[in-house]
Amino acid sequence: MVLKKEWTTPDRYKKYNDWDTDYIEELITTVTRSPWRLGYHIQPKTGLLNDPNGFSFFNGKWQLFYQAYPIGPVHGVKSWAHLTSDNLIDWKYEGLALEPDTLFDSHGVYSGSALPVNDKLLLAYTGNVRDDNWQRRSYQLGAWMDTTNHITKIDEPLIDHPPVGFSHDFRDPQIIPFNDGYLLIIGAQTTDNKGKALTYTSKDLQHWTLNGELNFTDEPMGYMVECPNLVFSNDKALLIFCPQGLDKSICHYDNIYPNMYIIGDNYDLETNAITNPTELKNLDEGFDVYATQAFNSPDGRVLAVSWIGLPEVNYPTDDYGWAHCLSIIKELIIKDDKLYQLPAKETEALRLNSIKLPESQTTHYDAKTNCYELEIDCHDSEKGQIKLMTQENGENGLSISFDTTCGKMIIDRSHIGNGFAREYGETREFSISQKPLTLQIFVDESLVEVFINDGEQVATARVFPEAEANHTHVTINTDVPSSITYYELRQTNR
């Protein structure tokens, strides 16, 4: 079953077409045999998926791309894979959109964003290049996609080198309209290894002028900032980003690298600052969220999608030739200086039927599938535990325990088969509001996304239950009965 264990550098950078068909067929068969394939989340057909890219609305459809290495479950030479949707839940795979086929992106079409301009969609991305001495070069590139999905790469880079004092770890451009021009925000590293975000401005999307370092915190941001995203909600600015090597005393996190955010009163171009910024916060309290991409959608919402996976971490599906998935689409709202993350309202259309579970202190429900949603209102509850994906006898599984009197939640994935990333801990403990708890939990074969107190927090966990424990048992014990609604969800991938 194990396809290929060792991946040499030449393997990873070999052209997709140079792989022999036997290998590709075996890869496809191996993925087909995999447990843990998702029912209603975006996942790669084969190989590895990482960051969401180019999330936008264009040509009457939602457009979404992701970092793809279709040849194996490793970080090889990347392309952008393309998906479209009418409703944010049914996604049509449109194939690879941007492939590494020019001198400016020969070693990977890396992450970036998309912006509709007249009747075309501008794709802005990083071209990753390794020179003869394997030194990295990065170029910020553009391409135009028309309404037939035909893509033309722009010949010359939008930005052809990092500024003086910055290394070639310079990537992930986000372009947004700003004032009467455009703003580009990009992740960067100084030559003395400090993580930064930089901004550029342009009037015509062709000529970009460095505006300098984005001021959003006084704290050091580790050695690299990846995937910065600036969006606006209710007249506040929200900056989402991934600092690598961040000192945990600045903001605690358990994952190898965190995905964080700050909220500010505004973005001020003159001072290049997110004004009056809050402290850093984790975007997700769970185990696996990274590289979240958000955009201001033309319908007025801020929509976001996350990579559910982490760099430099092996996952059990690697043995089956694929890795990772994207989150459900989330709506981000800032209210009273607080960020709320909610499942996009379209997600409700996945519901096939609903069952109100009996209100009792112990509720046990044997679901028919592992693709479902639970809405739980612990009206007066103080303490409780929810177990998902347990064995038939209700043992083991993913445990979500809470205590609203002291405001604490613990998510524990240590009692579920096929543990992984154990060195980063198998539990996540975090504070929740000291008030009656509401939960909206999405379960999908090997993924659990927990939305807490109407989006005050989200906690995401990949879990890989044993085949015989792949039961859909839900056991809820609370001090006081709670109201529980179970929805079976439509499996858009089947």
Give catalytic residue positions.
Answer: 51
**Min. distance of Cβ 117 from ligand FRU in angstroms?**
22
* 78 lies in the site for ligand FRU, by CB under 6 A: yes
The site for ligand FRU, by CB under 6 A, has a size of 13
Binding mask 109-148 for ligand FRU (x = CB under 6 A): -xx--------------x----------------------
The answer to the question of residue 311 lying near ligand FRU (CB under 6 A) is yes
* Minimum CB distance to ligand FRU, residue 290 (Å): 6
CB of 67 to ligand FRU, least distance (A): 4
Bridge partners (DSSP) listed for residue 141: 125
**Residue given tokens 């590895």 in the structure block:** 48
Phi/psi at 329 (5° precision): -75, 135
Give the x-and-dash track for 224-263 against ligand FRU (CB under 6 A): --xx------------------------------------
Strand pairing report for 47-58 and 322-323: parallel
CB of 68 to ligand FRU, least distance (A): 9
The nearest distance, CB 256 to ligand FRU, in angstroms, is 11
Q: Which is nearer to ligand FRU, 110 or 340 (CB)?
A: 110
With binding defined as CB under 6 A, does residue 291 bind ligand FRU?
A: yes
- CA distances, 299 to each of 45, 87, 389 (Å): 31, 13, 37
Which pairing describes strands 209-213 and 408-412: parallel, antiparallel, or unpaired? unpaired
- Give the contact letters, 86-115, x = binds to ligand FRU (CB under 6 A), - = no: ------------------------xx----
Across the strands, what pairs with 95?
82
Could you say whether residue 327 binds ligand FRU (CB under 6 A)?
no
Q: What is the maximum alpha-carbon separation in the chain?
A: 67
How many Å apart are CA 111 and CA 241, to the nearest integer?
13
Nearer to ligand FRU, 68 or 441 (CB): 68
What mask of x and - would describe binding to ligand FRU in positions 177 to 216, judged by CB under 6 A?
----------------------------------------
Cα separation, 145 vs 153, whole angstroms = 9
Q: Binding ligand FRU by CB under 6 A: which of 43, 46, 56, 67?
A: 67
Q: Is 288 a residue that touches ligand FRU (CB under 6 A)?
A: no
The residues, any chain, with a CB within 8 Å of residue 106's CB and separated by 6 or more, are 100, 127, 129, 130
Q: Looking at beta carbons only, is 67 or 341 nearer to ligand FRU?
A: 67
In sequence order, the 6+-apart residues with CB closer than 8 A to the CB of 36 are 316, 317, 320, 445, 446, 464
Which of 120, 171, 301, 330 contacts ligand FRU by CB under 6 A?
171
**Contact of 391 with 377, CB cutoff 8 Å:** no
* Tokens 């801990």 found at: 425
Count of alpha carbons within 13 angstroms of residue 403, beta-carbon side: 6
Among 30, 43, 46, 50, binds ligand FRU (CB under 6 A): 50
Is residue 72 within 8 A of residue 7, CB to CB? The reply is yes
HSE-up of residue 79 (Cα within 13 Å, Cβ side): 19
Q: How far is the CB of 366 from ligand FRU (least distance, A)?
A: 38
Residue carrying the six token digits 């939602």: 62
CB 114 within 8 A of CB 56: yes
Residue 51 sits in the site that holds ligand FRU (CB under 6 A): yes
| Cβ nearer to ligand FRU, comparing 39 with 243 | 243
Q: Which is nearer to ligand FRU, 136 or 490 (CB)?
A: 136
User: Using CA atoms, how far apart are residues 184 and 200, in angstroms rounded to an integer?
Assistant: 5
Residues from 342 through 381 that contact ligand FRU (CB under 6 A): none
CB of 53 to ligand FRU, least distance (A): 8
- Is residue 284 involved in binding ligand FRU (CB under 6 A)? no
| Between 81 and 437, CB nearer to ligand FRU | 81
* Minimal distance, residue 59 CB to ligand FRU, in Å: 25
Closest CA to 215 of 275, 293, 282, 164: 275
Inter-CA distances, 174 with 53, 285, 304, 337, Å = 10, 25, 14, 23
Residue 312 half-sphere exposure toward CB, CA atoms < 13 A: 7
Q: Which is nearer to ligand FRU, 78 or 387 (CB)?
A: 78
Handedness of CA 200, 142, 308, 485 (dihedral sign): positive
Among residues 84 and 259, whose Cβ is nearest to ligand FRU? 259
Report the DSSP beta bridge partners of residue 52. Answer: 66
Smallest gap from residue 126 Cβ to ligand FRU (A): 6
Specify the residue, 226 or 373, whose C-beta has the smaller distance to ligand FRU. 226
Contact between 168 and ligand FRU by CB under 6 A: the answer reads no
Q: Strand, coil or helix: what is 17?
A: helix
Q: Which of 261, 313, 317, 255 is nearest to 289 (CA)?
A: 255
**Which residues of the chain form contacts with ligand FRU (CB under 6 A)?**
50-51, 67, 78, 110-111, 126, 171-172, 226-227, 291, 311
